[in-house]
Amino acid sequence: MSSNDIIDRTRGPRIDLVTGLGEGDDVLVVGLIAPDSAAGDAEPTLLITDDLLDDAAATALTAALRAVSATGERGRVVTVPAPAGLPVRLVAAVGLGTAADSESPENVRQAAGAVIRALDGAGTVVSTLGAADLRAAAEGGYLGAYRFDAFRSDRSRSAEQPPARISLLVSEESEEAAADLAHALIVADAVALARDFVNTPPSHLYPGEFADRARRVASAAGLDVEVLDEQALADGGYGGIVGVGQGSSRPPRLVRLTYAPSNAAKTVALVGKGITFDTGGISIKPAAGMDHMTSDMGGAAAVIATVVAAARLGLDVAVTATVPMAENMPSGTAQRPGDVLTQYGGTTVEVLNTDAEGRLILADAIVRACEDRPDYLIDTATLTGAQMVALGTRTPGVLGTDEFRDRVAALSREVGENGWAMPMPAELRADLNSRVADLANVTNHRWGGMLSAAMFLREFVADGIGWAHLDVAGPAFNTGGPWGYTGKGGTGVPVRTLIAVLEDVAEAG
C-alpha cells in the first residue's frame, strides 16, 4: 500500500442540492421535533419542505413513526417503510429535540451526522435537514459518512459503506444555497483531512512522511511550502525539536505552509504539535492506552488542514502554519531527565520530564512564527492529560492573552467545538523556574498542569501579538463510541474553530 493510496482517497460522499425526490433515491431523511408540553403539543412534528408530502402520505408517516415510539429525542434515529406514494424504500426520522433545539446549528449538525451513520448500506439519501440549517446539515452529513478504511483488506463490505450520495432538499437552488453548500463542504473536508492524518498509524505517518504529505496537500492548494530536515534544524538552532527527536531512528522535521493573498489586511500564525508517536521517551508512559498516542499530532493535523481550507475558501487573511514534527522514543540517543537544551531563540530549558515534550517542539515553532510579526498567533496541541481532568474529553481548554483568548473560545462554541476559556494564575509561573537553566519544562507538582503548560509556552510568544493556545488532548481523539457526526478515532477538532477565527479576522479587517 503506497502513501498515495491513503492520502489521496476521497474522504466524503457526494452532497448536492435538489428540489424534490427522484426515482433512484433510497432513503428520505426527515427531522423530527419533540412535542412542547408547555405549548400543548402531544406528538412530535415533522420537519419537511413544502409540498414534499401530501396529506395522506403525511398521515401515514406520522402513524408509522408513532408505532415505533419516535419522540423527537435529540439524535435518536428510527426507520420505517416509506408510505405509499413516496419513491423511496425507507424513511429515517432523526430527533432534533424541541423547536428551540432545532434552531441550533450544532444540534442540526449532530442530527445529520447521527442519521447518516445509521444508514450504512443505503445508496442515496435525500434529507430535509437543510431546511433547518443548510451548512450544518451538509457538514454533519459529510462527517457522519466519514470512514477510515485505508488499512482494511476488504473495503467493499457493503454493510459498512456509508451512503454514496446525500441530497439536501431546498425550495429552490439559489446562488446563496449553492454558496452555503460549497462553504460547508470545504470546512467538512478540512476536518476529514485532519481525521485522516490522525487516524493513519505511526508505522505509516512518521515525521518525514508527515512532512511529505503536508507538502503534497499544500502544494495542491497553491501554498508556499518550506521543509527543514534534521540537519537544517540542528544548524538553525532548533534545540527543542532536535532534542525530542534525537531518540528516534526517524528524524524530525519543521514544515512551514504559507497562504498569502494580495489583499490581506491581517496575518495569523498557526502552530500545531506534530508528535507522530509519543512513548514518553525515557520518562516512558504506561503501556495501557499508549496506542492512543498515534493521535499526538492532532494539533499539527488541524493547522495543516486549516491553512489548506483558508486557501480553498479564498479568505482575505494571510496565514502561515509552522508545524514541528518529531517522534518521541526511548533509546541510547534519547534526551534524559535532567538534560538542558537550548530552544530556538536562545532560551535554555531543563528537561525534568521527557514526556512533556510537546511544549519543547512548540516553543521552537512559536519563536520562529513570531519572527514574522503576525497580528495573531494560535497554537494547538494534544498537550496535557490535565486538560481532560479539568474539562473532560469534549471541551478544549483555551488560554492566552485575555481578549483574543475569549474571542477564540466564543467562536469555538459558536461552531460546536465548545472551547472554554481558562486562566493562567500568576503564582504558577515561579514553579517553572529551573535550578540550572532559564526554565524547567514541568513544575514539581501535579496541580494546574494545563495552565502551567500554557504558561511555559507564553514565555516564547513575542510581546504585542494576540495569542491563543488550544489544548485538545481529549477532544482531538475519540476513544469511546461514535456519537453525532463523530466516529471513533480522530475527530478533526479544532479545525472548525481555527477556520472560524480566520474568517472572523478576515471580516474584521
Choose the final residue of a domain: 123, 140, 169.
169
- Number of folded domains that form the chain: 2
Residue 170: pLDDT above 90?
Answer: yes
d(CA 152, CA 201): 13
Residue 436: pLDDT above 60?
Answer: yes
Mean per-residue pLDDT over the chain, rounded: 94
Which residues does residue 77 pair with via DSSP β-bridges, in sequence order?
94
Write down the pLDDT at residue 39: 63
DSSP track, 260-271: --TT---EEEEE
Residues 234 and 375 in one domain: yes
Banded model confidence at residue 159, pLDDT cuts 50, 70, 90: low
d(CA 246, CA 258): 27
d(CA 161, CA 409): 36
Which of 506, 303, 467 lies closest to 376, judged by CA?
A: 467
Residues 152 and 206 in one domain: no
Write down the pLDDT at residue 11: 67
The two beta strands, 77-81 and 90-97, are: antiparallel
Residue located via cell numbers 480566520: 502
Residues 373 and 495 in one domain: yes
Let me know if residue 179 belongs to a domain.
no
Q: Which domain holds residue 254?
A: 188-508
Let me know if residue 393 belongs to a domain.
yes
Write down the pLDDT at residue 85: 83
Residue 50: pLDDT above 80?
Answer: no
Residues 124 and 12 in one domain: yes
Residues 156 and 206 in one domain: no
Let me know if residue 497 belongs to a domain.
yes
* Catalytic annotation, residues: 285, 359
Residue 3: pLDDT above 90?
Answer: no
pTM: 0.96
CA atoms within 13 A on the CB side of 476: 34
Write down the pLDDT at residue 269: 98
Banded model confidence at residue 22, pLDDT cuts 50, 70, 90: confident
Choose the final residue of a domain: 169, 204, 226.
169
Residue 408: pLDDT above 60?
Answer: yes
Residues 62 and 94 in one domain: yes
Let me know if residue 101 belongs to a domain.
yes
Let me know if residue 439 belongs to a domain.
yes
Strand, helix or coil for residue 171: coil
Q: What is the CATH number of the domain that holds 443?
A: 3.40.630.10
Residue 482: pLDDT above 90?
Answer: yes
Write down the pLDDT at residue 155: 66
Residue 9: pLDDT above 60?
Answer: no
Give me the percent of the chain exceeding a pLDDT of 70.
96
Q: What is the CATH number of the domain that holds 145?
A: 3.40.220.10
Which of 342, 359, 332 lies closest to 247, judged by CA?
A: 332
Residues 69 and 212 in one domain: no
Residues 30 and 103 in one domain: yes
Residue 10: pLDDT above 70?
Answer: no
Write down the pLDDT at residue 157: 59
Mean pLDDT for the stretch of residues 371-389? 98
Write down the pLDDT at residue 5: 37
Banded model confidence at residue 161, pLDDT cuts 50, 70, 90: confident
Mean pLDDT for the stretch of residues 332-345? 98
Local structure of residue 464 (DSSP, 8 states):
T
